[in-house]
Amino acid sequence: MRKLDRFLQGFKVPIAVSLGLVELRLKYLEFITKLIFGQVSAVLPYHVQWCVRFFLCLMISGGVFFSFPGQSFSVLAQPIRDPRLPYPAELRFKVEFWKAVYTKYTTKQGLIHDSEDLSLIYDAVELPKNGDFYSVDYMRNRIRESLFNILRKRGDNLTVEERALLAKFPRGASRSRLLQATENIRFQLGQTDRFQEGLKRSGYYLKHIEGILKQEGLPDFLKYLPHVESSFQEYAISKFGAAGLWQLMPATGKQYLRIDYTIDQRLDPWVATRAAAKHLKGDYKVLGNWALALTAYNHGAYGMQRAMKSLGTSDIAEIAFRYSSPSFGFASRNFYAQFLAASEVASNYQKYFPTMKLPEPLMFDVVDISEPIYLQEFIKQYKFSMEEFQRLNPGLRLPVITNQRPIPKGISIRVPLNSKRNNMMIASAEPRQKIRVESKAGLLPQIRSPLLPAVKREKEKEANETLDVAVKYGIQDLVDGKGWINVEMNETVSQIADWLQVEVDEIRGWNGMAPEGQARLGQKILVKLSKTTAQDFVSARLDHHRKIREDFFSQYAVADLMDYEVKPGENLWSLCYQKFEVPPWLLAEYNPKISLNAISKGIKLKIPVLKEKSADLISSR
């Protein structure tokens, strides 16, 4: 019997489906059996369990539904069938997990699950009205404690609760598997309401996105990527600086877009779509298939090349399950499955949300700005509300909206259709003529922006730190147009070159750097002022850091501080990007006397505990 069991355990059962042939491994059938029969399957003799599995194979080929923490969905729900979009059977249960997150559970609910095996769902959670995660932490700790009890008791004299927990694992699960499970307990917040809001917002932009993708020769299914990245939120900004519908990082965005204190075109859906399309096209050319290119959107093309080389395969399922790297965490490992799930739901949204109706695309006229002009002067020629204007121009930052800085020349502004008052020129064609007004912030009506409170706080902060700012961001020992600066957080050679208005290679040459050399935190860099002034350099540098802070605090707040002692093997990267999800510059602000680029065991840090201001931007914990 044992030989037969081993033979059958490795046997793959082909299952015919309407649009093709897939193979489901027996571990997936075991998961289905467990979900349908619950604890009953755990007490059945093993050979009887296998017979049940075989029977289920026949039923599944006919379209059986199975239970998922109080909900139902088909194990063989039809995916988008684009031949360019691989749909490995091994990822099916990951996809079904994310479909449930997107369609069954709201941001007031969630799932406690195993972070490596998404078929292992411990429980569904209803959050209290105040949004407190205490109940989640309590349940996670209780599950962890029960797992340790099971290990300690070696499966004997278990309580009813412990038996029910053990029944969620495959029969005969090893002690190492159970021990690993104690470290893998994760909570995923539901996203149904957030996804529906994203669907509504997508109606404004989908036709434009489809047009751009067609022009760039890219597959239409890429239009669903913003559902995963931002839920189509124009002002979405991550803790680490990704922004807009497409969540482009500053370094990526600057290859295609204008990003500075007055304008961040990553927040402009119409312009950013072109940039995202070009970036995706580049990753596809490097990696060769869309499963890898889409995962690279989260993990980077170079990171995916390392994964392929490490495993010797380009199979996305094998990479998702087997590749191990500190930077290839839960988000990267599940990114492609999330995309497949979001694509299925968005392309069949009326099936999941029958009453949903998408709005019509936004319509507008385009005005090219030939000379800098303040918004107060610009709007004299038009009849529209500031709310309408901001909806059409989300890339204009608050300094422009509040009339502190002019709209720069060379960009295009969108205005509501037929909103022009007369035939006067908007911006003078005379190259020397520049329109300025005396009005300041607060004079423009109906200004709404998530940046406004953050900008006010930063202005107050700057007023008290003028001397410190001059020392921190100024040029030291400036003589005959030459001086030096200390490289701060979020500064690169490319950015320094932009502020000096010189080529990157010039800076590398002045400082004896390698052709591809990058600036290190705290490094002393020689700068030469041949094409700008010291005042303009410092102003541009300060604007760069001010923008990072304003963007961040428009979405997040520091709710508390936590004392933490650095453990062996930890460094700035692992603490900020893996353990606490805190941007390095913020950690530096709360630990000004500690050199963060030389963190070692035993150093005591103050860790800011962050709270997201918008529930729409919360995804998981």
CB 35 within 8 A of CB 168: no
Task: Tell me, yes or no, if the pTM score tops 0.85.
Answer: no
pLDDT at 15: 34
pLDDT at 564: 95
pLDDT at 420: 83
Distance between CA atoms of residues 81 and 62, nearest Å: 19
pLDDT at 55: 53
Distance between CA atoms of residues 377 and 437, nearest Å: 7
Phi-psi region at 602: left, alpha or beta (left = phi > 0; alpha = psi -120 to 50): left
Distance between CA atoms of residues 574 and 560, nearest Å: 21
Going by C-alpha positions, the residue among 238, 241, 247 that lies closest to residue 489 is: 241
**Alpha helix segments (H runs only) across 330-464:** 330-347, 349-352, 375-378, 386-392, 398-401, 452-463
Distance between CA atoms of residues 300 and 294, nearest Å: 9
Kind plus residue range of the DSSP H or E element containing 375: helix 375-378
Distance between CA atoms of residues 308 and 292, nearest Å: 9
Pick out the chain residues at pLDDT < 70.
Answer: 1-82, 131, 422-470, 614-621
Burial profile 598-614: b = 16 or more Cβ within 10 angstroms, e = fewer: ebeeeeebebbebeebe
Distance between CA atoms of residues 366 and 416, nearest Å: 9
Provide the token pair at 483: 């001086």
pLDDT at 128: 85
**Domains with residue ranges and CATH for the chain:** 192-352 (1.10.530.10), 363-449 (no CATH), 456-551 (no CATH), 557-617 (3.10.350.10)
